[in-house]
Amino acid sequence: MAEIAICYATVEGQTERIACRMAGQFEARGHEPTVVNVDRLPEGFDPATFDDVIVAASVHFGDHAAVARSFVAEHLDALDAVPSVFVSVSLAAAESDAEGQATAEEYRETFLAETGWSPEYATSIAGSLRYPEYGLLKRLLMRFKLGREGKPTDTSREYEATDWTALNQFTESIADRVA
């Protein structure tokens, strides 16, 4: 079966959870996933040595992690040489209204335009809101911003927004393609 690299950039850990969930599904289908944090790449890591590469990156305050942009820029030729997938992780993707979905799509498309990368597939997956893990300033800014939007503001708890069923379905479609 296929060797699949799942490269992720995360801040609070939700994108890592998503990457690991995907890896578990690929493994169950007989593929060989390798999960790597782009902030701590193994020496000599080369995406071109894999049959497929998935890059997952989280959005914070409207931007994907700079380390994800750097990873794609550094490995653009390799990413374009193999089948590749981009997974954008954001709270905007949790919104069911057209405006929220448009925002999630804008984040994703901006990242791709800025990096010049053209993956075979790209999707947006909802992340999570982890108030207790934020520093004081970020917690207050998020509470203020989300409160204005009518979103949860209890900073003593976390809010899971990831649609694991949708992620599973997306991963299965990628696993079918890779097979």
Q: What pLDDT is recorded for position 179?
A: 67
Q: Where in the chain is CATH 3.40.50.360?
A: 3-127+163-178
Give the residues of the chain that fall short of pLDDT 50: none
Longest dimension (CA), the chain: 48
Q: What is the pTM of this model?
A: 0.89
Q: What pLDDT is recorded for position 61?
A: 79
Give pLDDT tens digits for 78-114.
999 999 999 999 988 888 778 888 988 999 999 999 9
Q: What pLDDT is recorded for position 150?
A: 75
Enclosing H/E stretch for 44: none
Amino acid at 72: V
Query: Residue 150, class by beta-carbon neighbours within 10 Å (0-12 exposed, 13-18 middle, 19+ buried)?
Result: exposed
Query: Residue 97, class by beta-carbon neighbours within 10 Å (0-12 exposed, 13-18 middle, 19+ buried)?
Result: exposed
Q: What pLDDT is recorded for position 159?
A: 73
Q: Would you tell me how many other CB atoms lie within 10 Å of the CB of residue 151?
A: 16
Closest by CA position to 60, among listed 108, 11, 13 = 11
For the segment(s) 3-127+163-178, the CATH number from 3.40.225.10, 3.30.70.260, 3.40.1190.20, 3.40.50.360 is 3.40.50.360
> Rounded to whole angstroms, how far apart are CA atoms 107 and 174?
22
CA angle 92, 96, 100 (to 5 degrees): 35
Distances (CA, A) of 91 to 48, 70, 109, 111, 162: 31, 22, 16, 16, 9
What 141-145 contacts at long range (C-beta under 8 Å, 24+ apart), as own/partner pairs, is: 141/61
Q: Which tokens hold the place of 144?
A: 């203020």
Q: What pLDDT is recorded for position 148?
A: 76
> Rounded to whole angstroms, how far apart are CA atoms 57 and 69?
9
